[in-house]
Amino acid sequence: MSKSWFLRICFKTGHAVALLSVVFVAATASAADSTLVIENTAIEKKLREQYFTDKGRFWLNNADACNQSWLESPKVTASAGRLRIAVFFSGRVGAQVGGQCVGGADAFNVTASGKPFYRDGRLGVEDIRIDSLSKEIYRPLLQPVFSSMMPKALDVNLKETVVRLLAGRTAPYEVEINELVATEVTADADRVNVRLQFDLRVR
């Protein structure tokens, strides 16, 4: 007789940690069935700790007081199968004249999204694009930023994560997981859900 497991985890400074205890439910199946849930607030916290480290700002350019651009106020959501990051952009390009900055300044909201995937044992994000941008002139600047940021916001080795999660609850027994497979990955209701199947051995 195998077991059915419900797992609920989140990120904390780049590492997966348990939110709920593992619940064992007897089931007549050849592999364990699990649901891994990653809340949007956990992903948002990881982004803030990794990127928005200067009083909530992520600097794109900070040449001088008259030439600056940055992102701030990140907000992570998930809907319609995509993970979304909304930020506020502020920028100024100018020169000092008579002790004052002369030039243009911009401030606007921008939203990018990506599709969560499972491949080769890892959970990640692909198909990254900017969905909402009021000034297209900034797309060449912002697209590479989001293309780099979003994959790091959701990057999980699922097998290692599940083993670490279970190991702390089965000591002194040794946990071994084989053939871990994600049967479904969805992004909706401000969370990423991963349906997992795996064979579990405790020694």
Amino acid identity at 76: V
Query: What's the confidence (pLDDT) of residue 16?
Result: 38
Question: With contact defined as beta carbons under 8 Å apart, do 106 and 171 qualify?
Answer: no
Per-residue pLDDT tens digits for 10-26:
333 233 333 322 333 32
User: What's the whole-number mean pLDDT along residues 72-81?
Assistant: 97
Q: Which residues lie across from 3 on neighbouring strands?
A: 26
38 by Cβ neighbours in 10 Å (0-12 / 13-18 / 19+) ranks as: buried
Rounded distance between C-alpha atoms, residue 164 and residue 106, angstroms = 46
For residue 5, is pLDDT > 70? Answer: no
Distance, in Å, from the CA atom of 107 to the CA atom of 92, rounded to the nearest integer, reads 9
Q: Tell me how far apart the alpha carbons of residues 128 and 147 are, in angstroms, rounded to a whole number.
A: 6
- DSSP letter for 174, please: P
Short-list 26, 30, 10, CA closest to 18: 10
Distance, in Å, from the CA atom of 35 to the CA atom of 52, rounded to the nearest integer, reads: 30
Query: Mean pLDDT over residues 87-101, rounded?
Result: 86
Q: Please say whether the beta carbons of 133 and 87 come within 8 A.
A: no
Distance separating alpha carbons of residues 24 and 70, to the nearest angstrom: 47
Beta-strand relationship, 9-12 and 15-18: antiparallel
pLDDT confidence of residue 26: 28
Pick from 67, 37, 41: nearest CA to 187: 37
For 168-199, the pLDDT digits (tens) are 667 777 777 777 888 899 999 999 999 988 87
Amino acid at 14: G
Q: What is the pLDDT of residues 25-67, one digit of tens each?
A: 323 234 557 888 999 999 999 999 999 999 999 999 998 888 9
